[in-house]
């Protein structure tokens, strides 16, 4: 089970399929739009770090010039699936090799028939290189014409980010190269594209395309006479580089293009690189094809979006596969995606965490502006880590009104989420050097933020966090959200541990950080004091109140609303939802899941039994189901867990939420790995030790996966 495929063309579900069939290599991704254009397509190539200004959302990944364009004419008739007769159609994404292939037997309106085989990949062996091959087997004597272009005129749903700079034709030993340079309008990031077209007829080289020098769309064109049974093979190589990579991106692009000799050679290097990925990351499930495919599909999409050579970028909530959330990164990274990378690909996890390290200045500035100390990371984070959560968005029902988005102001749990990712990375990798150099500062400065943000309640003699939003976004402006308070407490505790550890093992760095972060005895005392006296709303049985007053909210039976096709948020309305106990996603349970070593089964159970039936599992947050599956496993409810797992597994593949066209649900994809590994397999680690406690769905015949712990790879194989 390595392939996602379709054999029926459905131009109505084009956006969903474009997301599904996205290819990429951790440097960029290209959505699965066709080589030829169709109306309403969302054709997009998104390159890590290439952000540009946009109204309302402040910044977004700019949809880069299109490199796919290939217009084909059979005897002068333009190849388009909207015309003519489609005799055969199949599209396959091979997750193992990251190759997207389309086989089409098509009859032009004039009667000429040909089989066309399109293949494309974004090289994982050379992240600047993209390759597209089209083989045409004509069943007629006549002409075949192919036009290959680079198109600068790409937009993000109506917003244009590019200024054309220049284009030219460059002679090279391998043939004429069309070169294009563009620049983002505000952020002034330059992109260089270089394109070469190799043409073979019956395996004989037959190049020399004509050049159409139309500004902003350089085009190479070949027209050849063919006979029945001949084999026309066109390879379009495109190399891309940006001014983020080099001061002279065009030279860089040209060098990478020069390294590409032919499709097969480039593809071999690419598949070897993918072999390495799967050797580290693959999860094998036998006895359940849907689960097997869903897991590999999820890991494929995490892997193609994961920066391998760049620590200045993060993975957005929709990876690089769509316009949703505009490429901004959320807590989704540390809490949902990062565990997969930490356990299988520490080099990638490190890049993601170093990104947070590089955004410390912006996080400090965010805290400072709000009147606090330490590092308050952006709820939505992009190029610099400045807060880019929209503050106001047009009201869905009346665009003349605006709705206030509060997460950027109130979701303070983000700093502890980052600290959690750092701590977990250290625990799993045992990478002390990295932790001392980068991790410790992140944890300490996050703790400093919470110490300064906590408010002393003289009456109750405790610290509180008022006016926050927890993971459950159906309730905003709440006080003492349990997730926030307890994770902040945890953050403060491990910060103090961290400093002690540093003093022992890296005394110079301890000294440096003490000075840089002004960790005076008073400020450390404050951390300790807040950690000890933070308000915890837990009853004598261990039932935790999600936030102050939550238990007094109206309680309804969710099943009274079934069947439904909308979220409870929509059914109640944004304001009204605040008055009910219905929650969008696990909140207390999420906390218990993250800190599961601290809670015994009984305490988790009492909370599980309370919150599980009050969670909008079907139409609430897409972040919910996978984690819910993992928690259900902890509870031993494997059947329940599997139901949640399937819900997550289908979010993108079956588009059950109807929004897969906006891009992959990356947190859900990361959560699927956690559900399998921490849930069904029950993996626990402690120091360099690990243990599993499998509770597999009954149809699963085998579950096998790999992970790294303290520098060693371990293989789990559960029969």
Binding region for a second copy (CB under 8 A): 37, 39, 55-56, 58, 71, 147, 149, 153, 155, 158-161, 163-164, 185, 212-217, 219, 391-392, 394, 399-402
8 A C-beta contact, residue 125 and residue 269: yes
DSSP letters along 143-200, please? EEEEEEE-B---EETTEE-EEEEEEEEEEETTEEEEEEEEEETTT--EEEEEEEEEEE
Residue 530 in tokens:
């807040």
| Smallest gap from residue 112 Cβ to a second copy (A) | 19
CB of 159 to a second copy, least distance (A): 6
Q: Which residue has the tokens 């972060």?
A: 517
Minimum Å distance from CB 219 to a second copy?
A: 5
What is the smallest separation between the CB atom of 142 and a second copy, expressed in angstroms?
Answer: 18
**473 in catalytic set:** yes
The least distance separating a second copy from the CB of residue 183, rounded to whole angstroms, comes to 9
Q: List Cα–Cα distances, 616 to 472, 562, 565, 581, 613, in angstroms.
A: 10, 11, 12, 10, 8
Per-residue tokens: 473:
């976004």
- Give yes or no for a contact between 648 and 625, defined as CB atoms under 8 angstroms apart: yes
From the CB of 169, what's the least distance to a second copy, in Å?
12
Q: Which lies closer to a second copy via its Cβ, residue 65 or residue 586?
A: 65
- Nearer to a second copy by Cβ, of 155 and 289: the residue is 155
Identified catalytic residue from 127, 190, 334, 473: 473
Largest Cα separation within the chain, whole Å, is 91
Of 186 and 255, CB closest to a second copy: 186
Considering the complex, state which of residue 215 and residue 555 has its C-beta at the smaller distance from a second copy: 215
How far, CA to CA in Å, does 613 sit from each of 191, 582, 602? Answer: 51, 9, 18
Taking Cα atoms as reference points, which of 288, 370, 411, 318 lies closest to residue 622?
A: 318
**Which one, 147 or 569, has the nearer CB to a second copy?**
147
Residue pair 646/675 in contact by the 8 Å Cβ criterion: no
Q: How far is CA 28 from CA 60, 190, 301, 474, 480, in A?
A: 14, 15, 12, 34, 41
Tokens of residue 208, six digits: 């020399």
Write down the least CB distance from residue 151 to a second copy, Å.
Answer: 8
| Nearer to a second copy (CB atom), residue 165 or residue 556 | 165
Alpha carbon separation from 273 to 43, 159, 304, 329, 491 (Å, rounded): 26, 36, 12, 26, 38
The one-character DSSP state at 543 is P
Q: Which of residues 223 and 536 has its CB atom nearest to a second copy in the complex? A: 223
Q: Which H, E and C letters describe 299-357, residue by residue? A: HHHHHHHCCCCCCCCCCCCCCCCCCHHHHCECCHHHHHHHHHHHHHCHHHHHHHHHHHH
Report residue 523 CA to chain centroid gap.
Answer: 37
The answer to whether the CB of 196 falls within 8 A of the CB of 212 is no
Positions annotated as catalytic residues are: 473
């Amino acid at each position: 089970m390595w392939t996602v495929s379709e054999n029926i063309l459905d131009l109505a579900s084009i956006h969903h399929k474009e997301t599904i069939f996205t290819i990429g290599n951790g440097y960029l991704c290209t959505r699965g739009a066709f080589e030829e254009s169709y109306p309403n397509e969302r054709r997009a190539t998104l390159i890590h770090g290439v952000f540009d200004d946009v109204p309302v959302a402040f910044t977004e990944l700019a949809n880069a010039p299109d490199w796919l364009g290939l217009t084909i004419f059979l005897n002068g008739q333009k190849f388009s699936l909207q015309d003519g007769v489609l005799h055969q159609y199949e599209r396959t994404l091979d997750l193992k090799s990251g190759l997207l292939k389309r086989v089409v037997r098509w009859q032009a309106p004039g009667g000429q028939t040909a089989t066309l085989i399109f293949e494309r990949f974004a090289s994982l062996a050379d992240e600047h290189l993209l390759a597209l091959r089209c083989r045409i087997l004509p069943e007629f004597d006549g002409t075949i014409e192919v036009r290959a272009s680079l198109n600068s005129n790409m937009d993000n749903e109506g917003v244009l980010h590019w200024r054309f700079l220049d284009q030219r034709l460059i002679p090279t030993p391998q043939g004429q190269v069309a070169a294009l340079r563009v620049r983002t309008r505000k952020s002034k990031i330059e992109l260089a594209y270089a394109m070469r077209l190799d043409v073979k007829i019956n395996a004989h080289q037959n190049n020399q395309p004509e050049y159409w020098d139309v500004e902003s769309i350089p085009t190479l064109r070949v027209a050849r006479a063919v006979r029945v049974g001949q084999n026309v093979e066109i390879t379009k190589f495109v190399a891309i580089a940006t001014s983020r990579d080099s001061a002279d991106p065009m030279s860089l692009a040209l060098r990478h293009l020069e390294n590409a000799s032919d499709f097969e050679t480039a593809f071999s290097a690419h598949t070897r690189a993918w072999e390495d990925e799967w050797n580290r990351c693959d999860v094998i499930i036998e006895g359940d094809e849907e689960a097997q495919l869903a897991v590999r599909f999820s890991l494929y999409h995490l892997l193609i979006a994961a920066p391998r050579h760049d620590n200045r970028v993060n993975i957005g909530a929709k990876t690089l596969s769509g316009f949703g959330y505009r490429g901004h990164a959320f807590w989704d990274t540390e809490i949902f995606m990062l565990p997969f990378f930490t356990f299988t690909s520490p080099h990638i996890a490190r890049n993601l965490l170093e990104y947070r390290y590089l955004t410390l200045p912006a996080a400090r500035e965010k805290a400072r502006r709000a009147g606090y100390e330490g590092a308050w990371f952006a709820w939505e984070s992009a190029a610099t880590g400045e807060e880019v959560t929209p503050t106001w968005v047009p009201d869905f029902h009346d665009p003349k009104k605006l709705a206030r988005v509060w997460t950027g102001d109130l979701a303070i749990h983000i700093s502890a989420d980052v600290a959690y990712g750092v701590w977990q990375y250290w625990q799993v990798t045992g990478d002390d050097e990295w932790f001392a150099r980068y991790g410790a500062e992140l944890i300490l400065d996050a703790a400093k933020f919470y110490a300064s943000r906590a408010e002393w309640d003289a009456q109750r003699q405790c610290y509180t966090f008022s006016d926050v939003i927890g993971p459950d976004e159906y309730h905003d402006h709440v006080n003492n959200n349990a997730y926030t308070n307890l994770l902040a407490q945890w953050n403060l505790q491990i910060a103090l541990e961290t400093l002690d550890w540093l003093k022992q093992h890296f005394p110079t760095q301890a000294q440096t950080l003490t000075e840089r972060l002004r960790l005076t005895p008073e400020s450390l005392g404050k951390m300790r004091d807040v950690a000890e006296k933070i308000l915890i709303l837990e009853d004598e049985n261990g039932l935790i109140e999600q936030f102050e007053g939550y238990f007094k909210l109206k309680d309804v039976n969710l099943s009274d609303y079934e069947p439904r096709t909308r979220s409870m948020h929509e059914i109640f309305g944004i304001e009204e939802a605040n008055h009910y106990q219905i929650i969008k996603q696990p909140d207390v349970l999420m906390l218990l899941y993250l800190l599961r070593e601290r809670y015994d089964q009984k305490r988790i159970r009492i909370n599980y039994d309370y919150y599980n039936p009050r969670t909008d599992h079907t139409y609430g947050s897409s972040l919910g189901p996978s984690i819910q599956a993992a928690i259900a496993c902890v509870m031993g409810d494997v059947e329940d867990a599997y139901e949640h797992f399937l819900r997550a597994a289908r979010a993108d593949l079956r588009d059950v939420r109807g929004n897969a066209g906006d891009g992959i649900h990356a947190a859900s994809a990361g959560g699927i790995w956690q559900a399998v590994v921490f849930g069904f397999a029950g993996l626990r680690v402690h120091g360099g030790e690990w243990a599993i406690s499998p509770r597999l769905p009954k149809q699963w015949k085998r579950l096998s996966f790999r992970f790294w712990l303290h520098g060693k790879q371990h293989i789990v194989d559960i029969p």
